[in-house]
Structure 1
């Protein structure tokens, strides 16, 4: 203030201080710094070279202090920080783009740490605090909080030349004589075992001739004519001249896709994300 006014009396008035008090504070500051901040030149009160340098840094410090307060408040509100999110592949075709697109628009300064991960690995990482939130199919949620955000059907993936490809719906029993391409059991035992269980309930043991960890690979193998598959919708886009997706006529329960998190995680960014998921317009 004294540097702006170059007059201790006017500066004291603006600061609601007495002039002697302000003069003592300036003198104490100069003593602490070991430099002269102001000088009188031809009866004028001016900044010294040291004073001009210190003024620039002092203003920057004050601005940074204000920024630090704002940043701390934004972190507390979950507007700044990092969200470590993992997801199963079947979430990438519809739910994940819609969910993250809306969250990013509302929270542009949150850093998104994203990676595909199997349900089992997500559950372990959540319990160990290595990630903040997961998108997975239920079955291993012990000790975690979950919220269902999507219920998806199982569909048949058929090569375009398959005998049932022209049908709108097919029954599981009609696929009994076909070789199957399924998710690798080691990476997704719940999905694998449930699909095999549905086939057994339909009266046959599926002949699994190929397994793959990624759904895109499964679809490619189906397109190559190596078998049929059962996939959780939504499914990856592909040339309809290579593979077609058909609804199943069997009365099967839907697959639930859930948001999962540890109740011990106190991250404000996580809380903001969960509030967003809970809000209107989300899956």
Structure 2
């Protein structure tokens, strides 16, 4: 019986999890019986015991287990390096770009930029993985990703090496027959809280910037409906379920015809759109090209220095959405 790479990964994960097979299985997205079976297969193939046991639990590595672990770590690490190398080498005659982004950016920010990129690279194939607004974005969960996008509000932290793209605000949308349709903003929180809200699922979280601002004002919002993407929110606001709260960049020309769009209270903080390239491998040139389209306000040399860890973007104030992307603004206005 041969020793598999999966088995070696299981061995490393068990040790890294403090001899906890359940935790190792969770980290590998495998079942506990599968991890236990992989461990048994390694011991059977090598003819040695890797762990000292107490009952059914693992206590510590045996001397032989320590030697096998050192080899397993090297093999797993080497395989990881091979995969990262392969990830930087597109197939002959074609080029792929894997993007992970909230659905709002995928629908309303990226299309004209990707069209420009595809015009310059006719063989380019884009693979897009969309997330809900506010859904945690961890690059480690998407090892094949070439470029990641996310949002923060207020003073929320971001991953090191993230590039600020633009600032944006939430706006209120209501049907033309709604009592608020004639309101000339900004709409005070005290008035907003009088109406049922249709907004992003993330706004419901107790630790969200929206809830923190409301709590500081002594207000309790009422949520009629929430969803992960702006298209659903607009559909339910259009159905009259409540006042919709969406990102300003998520509105197209038809939405301005259908809805009254109202500026919101300045106490709700601006949000910032960020882009991040994977730190586990060298950025691909095509991903750098897209990043430059997303952040034309930053010199390419400065972005390269940030990615190399030789500089930072401290003090850089990203422009507002409309000013950051005039091409997008004209296309979507």
Same fold (TM over 0.5): yes
> Could you say which residue in structure 2 is the equivalent of 1:248?
264
Pick the aligned partner of 2:280 from 260, 264, 276.
264
Structure with bigger strand share is 1
Pick the aligned partner of 2:249 from 216, 230, 234.
234
Contact 1:158-1:245 within 8 A present in 2 as well: yes
Deviations 1:162-190 (A, max 9, x none): 222112312222122211122224xx777
Pick the aligned partner of 1:208 from 216, 219, 223.
223
Moved beyond 3 Å, runs of 4+? 118-122, 125-128, 138-142, 188-192, 236-242, 271-283
Contact 2:164-2:295 within 8 A present in 1 as well: no
Deviations 1:83-139 (A, max 9, x none): 101221222454212322322222222221123223676733455513111121135
> Which whole-Å CA distance do the structure 1 matches of 2:136 and 2:217 have between them?
32
> Which whole-Å CA distance do the structure 1 matches of 2:250 and 2:206 have between them?
15
> Which whole-Å CA distance do the structure 1 matches of 2:164 and 2:237 have between them?
30
> Could you say which residue in structure 1 is the equivalent of 2:28?
none
Go from structure 1 to structure 2 and tell me whether the alpha carbon gap of 1:82 and 1:119 turns closer, same or farther (over 3 Å shift). Answer: farther
TM-score by length of structure 2 reads 0.52
Contact 1:126-1:134 within 8 A present in 2 as well: no
Go from structure 1 to structure 2 and tell me whether the alpha carbon gap of 1:193 and 1:277 turns closer, same or farther (over 3 Å shift). Answer: closer
Go from structure 1 to structure 2 and tell me whether the alpha carbon gap of 1:278 and 1:175 turns closer, same or farther (over 3 Å shift). Answer: closer
**2:170 corresponds to 1:157:** no
**Bigger relative contact order (CA 8 A; separation at least 6):** 1
Bigger radius of gyration among the two: 1
Pick the aligned partner of 1:181 from 179, 183, 198.
198
Question: Which segment drifts farther, 224-233 or 264-273?
Answer: 264-273
Contact 1:125-1:131 within 8 A present in 2 as well: yes
Contact 1:84-1:112 within 8 A present in 2 as well: yes
SS of alignment partner, residue 138 of structure 2: helix
> Could you say which residue in structure 2 is the equivalent of 1:166?
182
Q: Which runs of 5+ in 2 are unaligned?
A: 1-88, 299-323, 326-333
> Which whole-Å CA distance do the structure 2 matches of 1:262 and 1:205 have between them?
39
**2:148 corresponds to 1:103:** no
> Could you say which residue in structure 1 is the equivalent of 2:211?
196
> Which whole-Å CA distance do the structure 1 matches of 2:136 and 2:162 have between them?
13
**Post-superposition offset of 1:231:** 1.5
Contact 1:155-1:247 within 8 A present in 2 as well: yes
Go from structure 1 to structure 2 and tell me whether the alpha carbon gap of 1:120 and 1:204 turns closer, same or farther (over 3 Å shift). Answer: closer
The size of the alignment, in residue pairs, is: 205
Alignment of 1:29-48 (within 5 A): none
Q: Which runs of 5+ in 1 are unaligned?
A: 1-74
SS of alignment partner, residue 164 of structure 1: helix
